[in-house]
Structure 1
Amino acid sequence: MKFKQLVAAGLMLSVAGMAKSAQESEFVVSDIKIEGLQRVALGAALTYLPVKVGDEMNSFRIAQAIRSLYASTHFESIEVLRDGDILVVKVKERPTISNIILEGNDDIKDEQLQESLDGSNIRLGEPLDKTVLTSIENGLKDFYYSIGKYNADVSAIITPLPRNRVDLKLLFEEGDAAKIEQINIVGNSIFDDATLFEQMELKFDAPWWDFLSETRYQKQTLTGDMETVTSYYKDRGYLKFDIESTQVSMTPEKAGIYVTLNIDEGEQYKVSEVELVGELLGHEDYLKLVLPITPGELYNQAEVTYTEEFISKYFGRFGYAYPSVTTIPDINEEDKTVKLTLSVDPGKRIYVRRINFEGNIGTADEVLRQSVTQMEGAWLSNATLESSKNALSRLTYMESVDFDTVRLPGEDDKVDVNFSVKEQASGSFNAGIGYGDRTKLSLQAGIQQDNFLGTGKRIALNLSTTSYQKSAQVSYTDPYFTIDGISLGGTIGYSEFDGESAGFIQYNSKQYSVGANVGYPIDEFNRINFGLTYSNVELFQSTSYEQTTRFYNQFVDESNPDDSIKYDSFLASVAWIRSTLNRGVFPTAGSSQRASFSITTPNSDVNYFKTEVDTKFYFPLSRNQRWSFLARLKLGYGNGYGTANGVDQILPFNQNFGAGGNDSLRGFENNTVGPRGVQLTPSPIFDIDGNVIYGSPVNDTVTISSRSLGGNAMILGGVELIVPTPFVEADFDNSVRTSLFVDVGNVWDTEFRYDRYKDLTLNQQFNNDPLEDYSDYKLYRASGGLSVQWLSPMGPMVFSFSKAIESREGDDTKFFSFNIGQTF
């Protein structure tokens, strides 16, 4: 207060002195001169001066002129003089900031400091107001004190430069944070110190191995711990619990802190009655049924808060977006009970005037509106807004989505809803590189755009060439072909496949296909897709195996048995898709399920069916969802139906399931897990003339291929612990993901007859692998490791470091794999 009086007195004396220098006589200004200008233009300076030629000057007008010039923030000192009838203003401009140097700040990032300086108009090219520096220094010191660094110091050093410029240097001496030497709790008898210390984040005397304990004093953490202890008591019936006082003292050298909490535990209370009052809009009976507070139980502050939030959200579903729910306790000290009266005022029903979008640079507004279920002109529903946010977040070209409601001035029943979105790359360059013990180097490439020209339509042109496949495919999907959300899509494709190079047995195929699909939404989470695909397949088997011959022989031309076979098929499919994931890419919460069934029509050359189920569950482990747990399971089964030439049809071997690689079992080479090809060689016997005849089948020999041919049944599963990526800030969690995983699974052949071959001689001339029962689903594989995924500008990149935990003789394992593409 005295300081303010001194400043006021000084200003009055300054003004009085300047007025005296102007000879304290009134005069009419005939001209105005401003001296000392360097950077500020004369015209600009005159605009700051509330005086013009012809005005009559007096002491009041002089003081007004000085205040106006100072308010422009350009001048460090101002002097007003009179030369006859000429008004002379002498100024000294504030120096311009040429450079800002931050040194020694480890606890505060440069970006945070610069943001704070910008708020005080301390930035490059601006005039330096030295009076602001003191408040900035003190504010920064207060911050360091709040985190226990009582020896910290912040100094602003100004270095003059030519042409009235300065360098501003903020020098930080942060020091070490004071360590908590002891925490004392006084007044507790119901819960002992150890129990209460377990609830607190601040610790003292932590063992050396508990490196995660917070032993440094921080004011904000202590405040949070006090709220936690208060909640601990009040959630157990101690309604009147109170922390009466808090003492924080430090050692003379400011290196240690002693904290003392004086508490009053009070008595334990039970709830005697719960009453709902106010305007309940006819929902009283329902609310009474679902209220979580039960009379006769201990008072629980958490349940009271949850009940208030539940009622608020419940009325929010019906357009009452700003209800007031207040709990009024009526305490009976005689029997230690409390009657809770929930007073409800729903307020006015709120309607949405307009829905706005911001941040969507490449995506058109109408595309985003297709996913928003909250309608303009309808009442505001918090449930509908949340579902709209989730639907937008599940779009693969959205990185983050948020919304807020803005009440309109003068309108107490209308709001605007503003959705703020952040887009991410919707196109991907789909490429991969891998190395295996047998397949060696493999490459692939492709292009896909999930948000073509901002329309939300998916267009893909995949021209892929790898060591085992060459393919070209054009696909198109319009997810909102109709306003009701019916989708329409189609594909045209061609592929050449080399089974041996892909890790399968030796066969080659060519396929032409064309298909169409249509999808129907059931609700915001579920939809059903129907599809029909025509395929023309040419298949060549360079080496015959017992499992493939049965299918292959159906189409072989007996006059030219070495020629390839050809067949046509019409594959009809139906799929149920459900997703409650919180994001389309890198989800951390929710689940997704997909169940599909496909079958060739009876007029096809081959008759078979396949069914698959794929499910994933994400469980957040932390409030910010940087830690999350993923559990996944994938099942598949296929087989033939009907007969051909009196023989039961089976699943074409080129439709078998495969396992191994980044999409299934990491740690194993692509498609190498599962049944191997079995070749049966009859044992020859020579007659007396030297002619070859074949003896008993028990003398036949069996050769096992080094390659897998897949199977008609599959089970794959795994768990993953999603963790924060080291050295990557939380802002990039939507772009980079790190996880620790365990993969388990197997592929088997339900049609394999192990008893036919188990007692035969095994020919190990070309392969030392044993003959196993390929119909046994228990011959599982397992692997574990580390995976890092990065949503790069070229598309998703996946780096996997894997170790086989459970493998079989002859399995092709690999430690490292790297892929670019849509693999998750």
Structure 2
Amino acid sequence: MKLKQLVVAGLLVSSASLAEAAAATEEDAKFIVEDIKVEGLQRVALGAALTYLPVQVGDQMNSFRIAQLIRALYSSSHFEDIEILRDNNILVVRVKERPTISNIIFEGNDDIKDEQLSESLEGNDIRVGEPLDKTVLTSIENGLKDFFYSIGKYNADVTAIVTPLPRNRVDLKLLFEEGDAAKIEQINIVGNEVYSDGELFNQMELKFDTPWWDFMSETRYQKQTLSGDMETLTSYYMDRGYLRFSIDSTQVSMTPEKSGIYITMNVSEGEQYKISDVELVGDLLGNEEFIESALPLVEGRLYSQAEVTYTEEFISKYLGRFGYAYPTVTTVPDINDEDKTVKLTLSVDPGKRINVRRVFFEGNTITSDEVLRHNVIQMEGTWLSNPLLESSKNSISRLTYMDNVDYEVIRLPGEEDKVDVKYSVTEKPSGSFTAGVGYGDRTKLSLQAGISQDNFLGTGKRMAFNINTVSFQKSVSLSYTDPYFTVDGISLGGSLSYSEFDAGNANLIQYNSKQYSLGANVGYPIDEFNRITFGLTYSNVELAAGRTSYDQTTRFYNQFLDPNDPDAPIDYQTYLGSVAWSRSTLNRGLFPTAGSSQSASFSITTPNSDVNYFKTIYDGKFYFPLSASQRWSFLARVRLGYGNGYSDINGIDQILPFTQNFTAGGSDTLRGFENNTVGPRGVYQETQSIVDPNGNSIGLGSEVSELVVSPRSLGGNAMAVGGIELIVPTPFIEDEYDTSVRSSFFVDIGNVWDTEFDYDKYKDLNIRNGSDPLADYSDWKRYRASAGLSVQWLSPMGPMVFSFSRALSERDGDDMKFFSFNIGQTF
């Protein structure tokens, strides 16, 4: 008992002593600050440090103010250790600054890119040049480990290593040991009776026990992918009427060595439900009849969640056409489990009609706002329309100097019926400068220099000046187009060019031409997608025949030959009028993946020209996306052409000048065939005497006509070429480079023929030894075909096209080419 009393007394004495000590400490902490000193500063300026202090000279210090001061300094994120001292009435703040990050190094990371890691660190305020808060390193390590666990790498480890450097700096290294991802050993689905395991596995992205050749299958476990597969299975059942389908539980177990994963899903299928009734309630703005007729939900039909979602989106988009941009469409199911039916009530609230206050742009550092506004269909001061927003986006995207376009509708605070629309654009280089020397197996030595600009000084105007010299052509050209000549979108353009052409070096029959041209054109927009253009071009052509006169060319030459000097070059002038229609719904100006591009033109020389002819050309490209990301796409293209002469001049029936003939072969028509080699060849007749065995002529009248067929193409007045392409993701190239690099597998097919060629006139003649065999060059069915792989790259030097192809159908004398390479090809 006495012992207990002594202990209690001792405790009371001790408590009293502690209370006295605390009171003494509190009393010592109280003083009036006469001066403030900050010690230990290196990077932080004294003035900046003082701004963090909630204490000034003349304030009274106490323990509360000291704690407040310490918290304020720590919250500045510049210091890792703080000590508060008193020197008489001078407040001394002794600090140790956090070290500055000199460098951040990533090592061993394969599944996470350096850019992703840098973004993650910046989200935690860890970046080069900033102070390092060591307290967040552990959370960063754990966060990165969680990421690896989510993709099945359960043996992964992340270690942050801090290396001190002089002047209170550090290097931060994140060392990754990723290990191998756990492989899915088996997936079990329990409870399914309607659909087999195989049918359900085919819907899932996660796979197991795949054959060796199916290297594209995802066999490593990923938590996000499993969640997606569960949603896919749910949608698969609910889209087929199984309204009560559910995944009751999911178990994921791991082998002891963390290398294998077993997944079990327990499902309840339920029974199929049919729609008993569909009712629309709410304000449909007087469009009930049209909306009801367009709905896919019909009484007696199996319930489909996909159709319900589509219906809600359809109604929302339809109301959006009239300015109701934020409607609420809710489907309320009334399920009858007895007869397995469901009544669907669609409640529609259109909300307020929205007016656009302002349309503005962001990201256009070169292109002026005025140019972008020319392509915006959603106008300011009008009702907001979702179709117009999308059409405006697509119209801007079709500009060749735009890389990416998106828009955002911004609701104004306090304004329920007004919004701003912001278009965010990413520009790409709109011009190029070329200068260089090259050598090719066909072009031989080539020199080129030029400048082209699709967005001259940000005005959207197109200007180009080019000088080229290759073995078969020397040319200089200047062109200028103002697509926004008027506010209504009328365009005005002009061109001036001069060229010298040596056909023999271009795989054609031998002739030489010199031509200079001057032209102008004006274009009128019909609507958002269609435009019509009128043009007039004056040309002066000087044409010199080769040493061989072919039957197809002699007829044209003869109307200009000087009888006194038949070897002199001929000269003629033309005034070529043209009208062209173009239509484009492409989603991008370069490397499109959806939409179509079509153009048709008709050109004809005026009656006062030295030659009378016409030409018509149709060109169409149609893109069909095969995936939601549009990285897979299908392209069908066709080009048709026909030309001929009209009327007569001085009693001579006019024909299409052979210099205007269509040709095929090469990267833009028929890959796998040498440029300009597909089509009719030149033919001419020679008379040769019959000789006896001694070499003596038998006599007058013994001559025979022989036919010579040129190995060179002449071209024809009719053309039909086309092809199909499967556009695929380029291996080892990330998604963001899809607008710069494109790969495709293609099949090309087509032919060039001459509707004026008279095969019966030559078919019975002997062919001179060594000549190519005679063919019916008027037969359009003599098509060629090829297949192969093409890679296109928008390089800093200009567009580059690499093609590997093999002929599938060829004709005698055709010149095949397995590999072709072009710079500056338009595609």
Superposition TM-score, scaled by structure 2 size: 0.93
Q: How does 1:594-673 map to 2 (within 5 A)?
A: 594-673=599-678
Judged with a 3 Å threshold, the aligned counterparts in structure 2 of structure 1 residues 433 and 77 are, in CA distance, closer, same or farther, namely closer
Mean CA deviation greater in 704-713 or 18-27: 18-27
Look up the SS of the partner of 1:46 in the other structure.
helix
User: Structure 1 434/38 Cα, relative in aligned 2: closer, same or farther at 3 Å?
Assistant: closer
Distance 1:17 1:64 in 2: 22
- Which sits farther off after the overlay, 289-298 or 185-194? 185-194
Bigger drift between 657-666 and 436-445 goes to 436-445
Distance in 2 (CA, whole Å) between partners of 1:100 and 1:360 is 32
Contact 2:577 2:605 in 1 (8 A): yes
Identify the range of structure 1 (813-822 vs 591-600) with the bigger mean alpha-carbon deviation: 813-822
- Output the amino acid matched with 2:571: K
2-structure distance, mates of 1:438, 1:163: 64
Q: 1:693 to 1:55 in 2, by over 3 A?
A: farther
Label 1:523 to 1:432 Cα distance change in 2 as closer, same or farther (>3 A): farther
CA apart distance, 1:470: 1.9
Aligned length: 804
Q: Does 1:46 align with 2:69?
A: no
- Cα distance between partner residues in 1 of 2:26 and 2:144: 43
Question: What do the CA deviations read for 1:489-508 (whole angstroms, capped 9, x no partner)?
Answer: 12222222211112211111
Moved more, 27-36 or 572-581: 27-36
Match of 2:503 among 483, 499, 506: 499
Number of the residue aligned with 1:581: 586
- Selected match of 1:241 from 237, 241, 245: 245
Q: Which moved more, 1:525-534 or 1:224-233?
A: 525-534
Is the contact made by 1:675 and 1:709 (CA closer than 8 Å) also made in structure 2?
Answer: yes
- Aligned residue among 218, 241, 254 for 1:214: 218
Q: Deviations over 1:1-47 (max 9, x none)?
A: xxxxxxxxxxxxxxx99997665552211122223333322222211
**Alignment gaps of 5+ in structure 2:** 1-19
> Following TM superposition, by how much is the alpha carbon of 1:635 offset from its aligned partner in structure 2, in angstroms?
0.8
Deviation at 1:708, TM superposition (A): 0.8
Separation of aligned partners in 2, 1:224 and 1:753: 66
> Match for residue 3 of structure 1?
none
Partner of 1:537: 541
Q: Name the structure 2 match of 1:169.
A: 173
Quote the Cα distance in structure 2 between the aligned partners of 1:245 and 1:80. Answer: 58
Q: Which has the higher contact order (CA 8 A, sep 6+)?
A: 1
Contact between 1:404 and 1:418, CA under 8 Å: does it hold in 2? yes
Q: Which of 528, 548, 551 is matched with 1:546 structurally? A: 551
Residue 504 of structure 2: SS of its match in structure 1? Answer: coil
Q: Larger deviation: 102-111 or 435-444?
A: 435-444
Compute the displacement of 1:578 (Å).
Answer: 0.9
Residue pair 1:599, 1:607 contacting (<8 A) in 2 also: yes
Which whole-Å deviations, capped at 9, do the CAs of 1:571-607 have from their partners, x for residues lacking one?
2211111111111111111111111111122222211
Name the residue aligned to 2:791.
Answer: 788
Q: Which of 275, 288, 293 in structure 2 is aligned with 1:289?
A: 293
**Are residue 86 (structure 1) and residue 90 (structure 2) matched?**
yes
Change (3 A) 1:455 1:695: farther
Corresponding residue for 2:367?
363
Task: Tell me which residue corresponds to 1:324.
Answer: 328
The one-letter code sitting in structure 1 at the alignment partner of 2:598 is Q
**How big is the shift at 1:438?**
6.4
Corresponding residue number in structure 1 for 2:274: 270
Check 1:714–1:573 CA distance in 2 against 1; reply closer, same or farther (3 A cut): same
In structure 2, relative to structure 1, the CA distance for the partners of 1:113 and 1:341 (3 Å cut) is same
CA spacing shift, 1:641–1:105, aligned 2, 3 Å: same
* 2:682 pairs with one of 671, 677, 682: 677
Q: Residue type of the partner of 2:757?
A: F
**What is the aligned partner in structure 1 of residue 562 from structure 2?**
557
TM-score by length of 1: 0.94
Do the aligned partners of residues 493 and 56 (structure 1) sit closer, same or farther apart at CA in structure 2, a change above 3 Å counting?
A: same
What's the offset of the Cα at 1:444?
Answer: 5.1
Task: Report 1:155-166 matches (<5 A).
Answer: 155-166=159-170
CA gap of 1:752–1:302, structure 2 versus 1, over 3 A, is same
| 1:322 partner SS | coil
- Judged with a 3 Å threshold, the aligned counterparts in structure 2 of structure 1 residues 639 and 538 are, in CA distance, closer, same or farther, namely same
- Provide the alpha-carbon RMSD of the alignment: 2.3
Who is 1:815 aligned against? 818
User: 1:686, CA displacement in angstroms?
Assistant: 10
Residue 444 of structure 2 contacts residue 470 of structure 2 at CA under 8 Å; is this kept in 1?
Answer: no
1:5 match: none
Aligned position for 2:258: 254
Read off the aligned partner of 1:743 and give its amino acid letter: D
Equivalent AA in structure 2 for residue 671 of structure 1: N
8 Å contact from structure 2 (residues 109, 178) kept in 1: yes
After alignment, is 422-431 or 90-99 more displaced? Answer: 422-431
Among residues 489, 496, 509, which one is paired with 2:493 in the alignment? 489
Pick closer, same or farther for the CA change 1:50–1:17 going to 2, 3 Å.
Answer: farther
Pick from 773, 777, 781 the counterpart of residue 780 of structure 2.
777
Deviation at 1:208, TM superposition (A): 1.7
Write out aligned runs for 1:370-381 (5 A): 370-381=374-385
CA distance in 2: counterparts of 1:755 and 1:747, whole angstroms: 19
Shift of 1:431: 8.0
Asked if the contact 2:615–2:642 (Cα under 8 Å) also holds between the matched residues in 1, the reply is yes
CA distance 1:292–1:35, change in 2 (3 Å):
same
The one-letter amino acid of 1:375's match is: M
Asked if 1:57 is matched to 2:90, the reply is no
1:805 Cα deviation from its structure 2 partner: 2.9
Aligned amino acid, residue 547 of structure 1: Q
Correspondent of 1:707 among 705, 709, 712: 712
- Classify the secondary structure of the residue corresponding to 1:215: coil
User: Deviations along 1:673-724, whole A, 9 cap, x unmatched?
Assistant: 111111111234799xx99997488x20111112111001111111222222
SS, match of residue 714 in structure 1: strand
Q: Map Cα deviations across residues 346-374 of structure 1 (whole Å, 9 max, x no partner).
A: 11111111111122121111011101111
Offset at 1:406?
A: 1.3
Report how far residue 236 of structure 1 moved.
0.5
Structure 1 residue 295, shift from structure 2 partner: 1.3
**Which amino acid in 2 is paired with 1:581?**
L
1:349 maps to 2:359: no
SS in 2 for 1:805: strand
User: Within 2, Cα distance between the matches of 1:743 and 1:734?
Assistant: 24
Mapped partners of 2:816, 2:579: distance in 1? 35
Distance 2:23 2:473 in 1: 93
| 2:673 maps to amino acid | F
The residue number in structure 2 matching 1:748 is: 753
Q: Residue 16 of structure 2 corresponds to which residue in structure 1?
A: none
